[in-house]
Amino acid sequence: MKRTVLAASISLAVSALLIAGTGSPAAAADTARPHPPKADKSQAVQDARDSIAAHPKAVRASSDDTFKSASVLVDKDGTRHVHMTREYRDLPVLGGDVVVHSAPSGAFRESTLTLKDSLSLPVTPKVSAQRAETLAQKKFQGERADTTSKLVVDALAGTPRLAWQVTVDGIAPDQSPSHFNVLVDALTGKVGQTWNDFHTADGTGHGYQVGDVPLTTTAVSGGYQLKDATRGNGETRDAQNLTATNDSPPAGWGKAFTDTGNVWGNGTLSDRATVAADAHFGIQATWDYYKNVHGRSGIKNDGVGARSFVHYGNNYANAGWDDTSFSMIYGDGAPGDKPFTELDVAGHEMSHGVTSATANLNYFGDAGGLNESTSDIFGTLVEFNANSAVDTPDYLIGEKISSTPLRYMDDPKKDGASQSCWTTGTKNLDPHYSSGVGNHFFYLLAVGSGSSQWGNSPTCDGGTVTGLGNATAGKIWYRALTTYMTSGTTYPQARTASIKAATDLYGAASSQCAAVEKAWSGVAVAPTATTCGGGGTPPSGSNLLSNPGFESGAVNWTASSGVVTNDASGTPHSGSYYAWLDGYGSAHTDTLSQSVTVPATAAAPKLSFFLAIDTKESGTTPYDTLKAQVVNGTSTTTLATYSNATPGGYTQRTLDLSAFKGKTVTIKFTGTEDSSAATSFLIDDTAVTTG
């Protein structure tokens, strides 16, 4: 519904809506706005392009930038989320991607990104491509097949620079396919970040079978083939103990599994089809989880199934996902051990493909840990969803591969290498170990802290977390990954992304949203003024709030739909944007919040904001209210309450935060109106100061 127009207290907005000759606001201002039709993906992309053109600062865009859509998500209510890649003067920008969020009407709402400033740099290299390739090849270990290079802008960390992205394809020393990437400074020749686009599980083999399971196959001449037409023609093939090189494995590689009686394997390793049954069931279980739980049709959400190759390599003690060839490989393990075909391994590896098709998280730094933990999370959820008696669901990763699990989600440090608590040094670890922070967060969110049938999970802050269950926690993580994360998302930014996801799904005042915040604090990921929000402008001076005047839209804020706006029906205190809570003339609640850490050394911390109140109510009874609150864990403190009883134009309000020194809290505004006449609460130019 459309909110009522503001009256005399905000005269600028009203004057534009007068009907000629009547001297009163247009009647249409109080009528319901038709719900906009749901946008198709092409319209969502166009809205995103229009938003970038109208709000270049919000996405750090310059006149030399161009954007291409990578993925599109349209919510049930028509809200659009378009993930865009960026090119600067026709060069790909690594770390320059952005998610543009638009309202159902198509109006810009906010953006999610990691790029801190617009780009300005020369694009003529001083180092040749050949020289860059030679330098990169020296970093590669294994059997080299091909080397390619392309000129890019490296904006992944620090000052953006011109670089050669060199990809060395081949076979790694452990027989894994390798797409080894090296960034070489195109001006100085300095070798920088490296990563591998092929993702493996981190173990030594010792696989197991999934037992007696139903398999969907395809009838062919003379019998059946391990190809599932109901799941995008996902297929399982025999690699014949070879390793594929170059495009690994290329189309048509390997040998199809066929059988005249549609019976696959005999439960022992004497039949090569036994592990094929394991792998094929892994394809089915992963597809079914994403389809039935998240409505996702296949890894890329395009209805196309993946391929699995079993008996890969010679005693290859690993498994992995190759996004280049859109396939999964399984080795037979070390001599005398079983193949590497555990169900959560299948879900883990194919979830790397989901990550690649959505947030496209880097495979290094905090983003690398998030990439790996996302696969551990969804691999675990695939296992729970399948609920096999042969592989009892748990929060251990690859527990049937070796004598001890590869990773423990309840307390990741138990493996001797992973981190349970985030630090600024987490980004320097191998992604299999920095993933511990994300795994620990998810366990706390799903199961909770302390002892349970699944393990014993401590918290890094000494707090207590009550779990929400797998279904809720999984939906929140999937929403955060597909809607708010970008390639360079850090752990603090993942906190913000998942809080936004929980708000979208359950509301800003929900217990689910509070649990997300407590779970992140439980792994030592607390919001800070300079890191939360995925790209908001850092605060200046002593203001601890980010984007305090809303000029970057809703960036850094968690808000009800339409609260942060530049709607011309109202007016900001300054700038173009402001927050508009309520004003619908019906029973309604709006919220607006942002987390902040109040320094323990603050002399006299205060919350201040400009508030305007316009109402159609009469009298002094407070029918409609706005509460300024502080949420500290599960406790909510109301600092002040304002209502329709005292309407007026913008006035600065200042409230004491001394009780919250040394704590990470959420500043929250809650506007509630009853079912009759409307009251609008406008907020702008907020601040948390240290005094």
b/e map 238-253, b = 16+ CB within 10 Å: bbeebbbbebbbeeeb
- Strands 234-238 and 307-312 turn out to be parallel
Coil, helix or strand at residue 149: strand
Q: Positive or negative, the Cα torsion across 432, 435, 436, 440? A: negative
Question: How many whole angstroms separate alpha carbon 287 and alpha carbon 231?
Answer: 7
Catalytic residue among 280, 432, 440, 588: 432
Closest CA to 477 of 509, 433, 444, 526: 444
Cα angle for residues 290, 293, 298 (degrees, 5° grid) = 20
The pair of structure tokens assigned to 480 is 């955060």
DSSP 3-state of 669: strand
Q: Which helix (H) or strand (E) holds 207?
A: none
Cβ burial 641-650 (10 Å sphere, 16+ → b, else e): ebbbbebebb
Helices 431-446 and 365-386: angle between axes, nearest 10 degrees: 50
Catalytic residue among 110, 235, 349, 372: 349
From CA 412, how far away is CA 157, in angstroms rounded? 27
Place of tokens 């030594």: 204
Cβ 651 vs Cβ 529: under 8 Å: no
Residues 86, 155: Cα–Cα separation, whole Å? 11
The torsion region of residue 143 among left (phi > 0), alpha (psi -120 to 50) and beta comes to beta
Contact 240, 255 (CB under 8 A): yes
Measure the CA–CA gap between 420 and 404, rounded to whole angstroms. 18
Name residues whose C-beta falls within 8 Å of residue 217's C-beta, 6 or more positions apart in sequence.
224, 225, 226, 227, 228, 262, 264
CA separation for the pair 466, 515 (Å, rounded) = 7
Which of helix, strand or coil describes residue 255?
strand
> Is 349 in the active site?
yes
432 is catalytic: yes
Active-site annotation, residues: 349, 432
